[in-house]
Chain A
Amino acid sequence: MPDDQLMLAYARGDAAAFDALYARHEGALFRFVRRLLGAPMAAQADEVFQDTWMRIVSAREGFAPQGASWRTWAFTIAHNAAMDRLRTSGREVSLGVMGDESGDDASDPMDWLQGALDMSHPSTEDVAFWRAAGQQLLQCLDELPDTQRAAFLLHHEDGASVEDLAQRLGLAFETAKSRLRYALQKLRGCMRRYLDVMEQPA
């Protein structure tokens, strides 16, 4: 059953529909919340995650599958919950030092990774590498400003387009685009070491 139908069923009183919906998106939503909060506030990830689902339950009557998918709707709620917590926590936006590089490859799309790597059967070394890269990426994400981090995660984890991103965050298209661009710039600069390795021929 699609996510929208499960949510509607739950709104009608079907608790089992909620269980199925929750099981389907628990991990992704929790990772999103945790990564958006960043490492300094990782301890509050569970609390914010629970708050997110509470908001979803409370808004079940008003859910209407119009245009945006349930996942988009839920990720937006999670984003708002996390941002609220970030604001209340008084965490300073860390501009971070993403390296001296200015991220000049923003205009250079690097989509060769899909073709260069055999992802269907990754080797142990590949997995380790990517795990390390992922670890580094998390640290780089922590150094991003909250708004840029949110824009990057919504764009890459949730698959939201720039237009969708702008709508969900209540931003102008150009503003959302700028945030995403800056986020990529900084992340690429922070991940330079790993990205350079990827560029090196095997």
Chain B
Amino acid sequence: MTELRDARLKEALAHAPDAHMTPDARTRAAIRAMAGRAVAPAAPRPVRSAGALWWQRLWHAAGNSRGPWGAALATVVLATLVTVLWRDEEIPVARTADAPMATVPAARSAQPPSVAVPSTDAPAAVPRTAAPAPAPALKPAPVEKAAQPEPAHAPRPEESPPQTYAKKAESEARDKAAPAPVPAPVQQAPTQEAQGTVMADVQPPKREDERRRSAERSRSDSAVASAAPPVGSSAPAAAAPALPVAPVAPGVAPPARPPVAFAVPARPVAPAEAGAAAARASVPAPDLSAFDIWAQARISLDGRVSVISPGGHGALVAQLRTVANQARVAGAMAGPIVVRIELLRGDELLGTLAVGEASVQWTSRRGGTDVSFSGVVPAQQVAQLLEEVRRAR
């Protein structure tokens, strides 16, 4: 016993009225039941009982509330929301590099389809392979041409649907060597008169077949060609079956091209644009990037070969580019080469620019293959180029 412990008080507590008090019976039962449940083993749920439904068994098998049901529900809700939001949205489709080409050529109003003669197999292979593509555009082309009011493109009696090309080809075969078609294109396309006329005048008859073949391959606007004088088209038409172009357009005879294929440039702008657009849609564009990276230019003129660098020859460089821009039609050019300019970077040949008296051919290497594009160049530009070249050498 200490001062802090009083026996009297303890005795009094022992005799207090609540000395024998016990909790309520229900409290006792609740406590004992709770204690029993706490240590009772977890009884397996009767998931396989006869009365349990399949979803109940699945629920229990999945672990009831222990599973990430909240996360699963949130995922489903989110997926539904995204689906609803994107329901009316267009799926973004990647556009190929050729897609805009279908419209760009239409803007090239002054791009006469070239009648490049396939002087080499490689360049010729390009237009041949591209020929099938333009064919499908042959049919809609006539419709487009009819919708485009061009004063120069006055509907001619010869402007017939593609179905009549075969007939026209026969009549044109009789005049394949005649230069008569020349004036007609001039009337139709005054804007390209200079190019077309000049080109038409200089074409020797003996190369008409070659020119027609190349013209057919490069032009998809055969309906427009119907406006051209039906001269010399019989030969191409006859030769069409032998060309890759023919099979592509069985129902459409090769466009009636005059032997002087350079008359084609004299065609109306609108038809040429539409046809060229279809043609170009399947033909890769000329690659003029070499003009930005060349370090040396080897010029062959008048039997002499000289090498120059871009520095100090800004006028010549600009003139070269201007002339090269005229090469828009796949294929080799016709006519003799007056000057040849090879663009080099070190030992790598980037491209070759061959300029004739009124034509140009740009050959670049693409994918290990030389790709040539040709076009018509005004004689004045050729003269200016030659002057710059002679000045630079």
Partner-B contacts on A (CB < 8 A): 10-11, 13-15, 18-19, 22, 26-27, 30-31, 34-35, 45-46, 49-50, 53-54, 57-58, 60, 106-111, 113-114, 117, 119, 127, 130-131, 133-138, 152, 155-157, 162, 177, 180-181, 184, 187-188, 191, 194-195, 198
Instruction: Give a binary string over B2-45; 1 marks a CB under 8 Å from any A CB, 0 the rest.
Output: 11111111111111111111111001101110111011110000
B1, CB-defined interface residue at 8 Å: yes
User: Apart from A11-B39, A18-B39, A184-B6, what 14 extra A-B contacts exist at CB < 8 Å?
Assistant: A19-B32, A26-B23, A27-B22, A35-B16, A50-B31, A60-B38, A109-B6, A117-B11, A137-B13, A155-B5, A157-B13, A191-B9, A191-B12, A194-B12
Q: Are B14 and A134 interface neighbours, CB within 8 A?
A: yes
Shortest distance between the CB of A186 and any CB in chain B (Å): 11
Shortest distance between the CB of B27 and any CB in chain A (Å): 5
The 7 closest A-B CB pairs, nearest first, are A134-B16, A130-B15, A111-B1, A133-B12, A134-B15, A137-B12, A53-B31
- Complex alpha-carbon distance, A54 and B27, angstroms: 11
Q: Which A residues are in CB contact (< 8 Å) with B2?
A: 109
Q: Are B12 and A27 interface neighbours, CB within 8 A?
A: no
B15 contacts which of A14, A34, A133 (Cβ < 8 Å)?
A133
Q: Are B21 and A156 interface neighbours, CB within 8 A?
A: no
Q: Are B27 and A50 interface neighbours, CB within 8 A?
A: yes
Residue contacts A-B, CB under 8 angstroms, 14 given: A15-B35, A50-B27, A60-B39, A109-B5, A110-B8, A127-B15, A134-B15, A136-B12, A137-B13, A138-B16, A181-B4, A188-B6, A188-B9, A195-B8
B21 contacts which of A10, A27, A119, A180 (Cβ < 8 Å)?
A27
- Complex alpha-carbon distance, A109 and B1, angstroms: 7
- Complex alpha-carbon distance, A152 and B39, angstroms: 35
Q: Are A31 and B14 interface neighbours, CB within 8 A?
A: no
Residue of B nearest to A137 (CB): B12
Q: Which B residues are in CB contact (< 8 Å) with A30?
A: 21-23
Shortest distance between the CB of A56 and any CB in chain B (Å): 8
| B interface: dominant SS | helix
Total interface residues on B, CB under 8 Å, equals: 36
Partner-A contacts on B (CB < 8 A): 1-24, 27-28, 30-32, 34-36, 38-41
Residue of B nearest to A19 (CB): B32
Q: Which A residues are in CB contact (< 8 Å) with B36?
A: 15, 18
- Complex alpha-carbon distance, A14 and B14, angstroms: 33
Q: Are B15 and A131 interface neighbours, CB within 8 A?
A: yes
Residue of B nearest to A139 (CB): B16
CB contact under 8 A between A35 and B15, given known A49-B27, A113-B8, A180-B4: no
A22 contacts which of B7, B12, B15, B31 (Cβ < 8 Å)?
B31
Q: Are A187 and B4 interface neighbours, CB within 8 A?
A: no
Q: Are A27 and B20 interface neighbours, CB within 8 A?
A: yes
Shortest distance between the CB of B142 and any CB in chain A (Å): 93
Q: Are A14 and B3 interface neighbours, CB within 8 A?
A: no
- Complex alpha-carbon distance, A114 and B1, angstroms: 11
Q: Are A134 and B38 interface neighbours, CB within 8 A?
A: no
CB contact under 8 A between A130 and B5, given known A27-B22, A53-B34: no
CB contact under 8 A between A134 and B13, given known A15-B36, A34-B18: yes
Q: Are B9 and A187 interface neighbours, CB within 8 A?
A: yes
CB contact under 8 A between A156 and B27, given known A19-B32, A131-B15, A137-B13: no
Residue of A nearest to B1 (CB): A111
Q: Which A residues are in CB contact (< 8 Å) with B27?
A: 46, 49-50
